[in-house]
A and B are shown apart, each in its own frame.
Chain A
């Protein structure tokens, strides 16, 4: 069975600084996708970034980027130029390659941002 592990229950960063959230996963499959979701206090789940396992290039979305290390089964999220609005719970998630399959989530990392 696939598992997703987020080893940092809480992280903090100052405005304008950079922070990296860690995620590791375990799978025996070669075809899969990885995601980072943000959950602010409103509870709404918001997709931050996604990575296809077959792509070697790391995904980037504005201030958000990932470090995807397939052999090490590691998928970390880097937030650059942190803003107060980045404060939220962040979830790492895995999905098998087959369409219509569900996400497997890590337990989450709470990120706080101070001014």
Chain B
């Protein structure tokens, strides 16, 4: 049981390049989330998927797209990376039905855009 996995762990991009961050969970959770963490800002929600087949914007969605590929996988795509997207990205998942709905986090991806 690996929990939530993210690939890659580190990435350096040049401005204008594109890339996809991958996230997978093996806990059979319905809901998945993408957050970004910047110094002094805490974690902010980019996009989330409450259940398979649905996605919704969060607080900071500009410059990103997401795909809920299946129940296990939720990817985040940067079409044209910008230096402002330099950040640590976290994927998380939770069970939709449980009352306490604890979110389980992946190890994060540190992305640098030059």
Contacts and interface: CB of A to CB of B under 8 A. Distances in A.
A16 interface: no
A103 B103 contact: yes
- SS of A interface (majority): loop
A102 B42 contact: no
A30 to B, nearest CB: 15
Given A45-B90, A100-B31, A100-B96, A107 B41 contact: yes
Contacts of A33: 100-101
B25 interface: no
A91 interface: yes
Interface residues of chain B: helix, strand, loop or mixed (majority)? loop
Given A44-B105, A95-B101, A100 B51 contact: yes
Contacts of A42: 107
Given A33-B100, A106-B42, A107-B42, A45 B31 contact: no
Interface of A: 4, 6, 9, 33, 35, 42-45, 47, 50, 52, 91, 95, 99-108
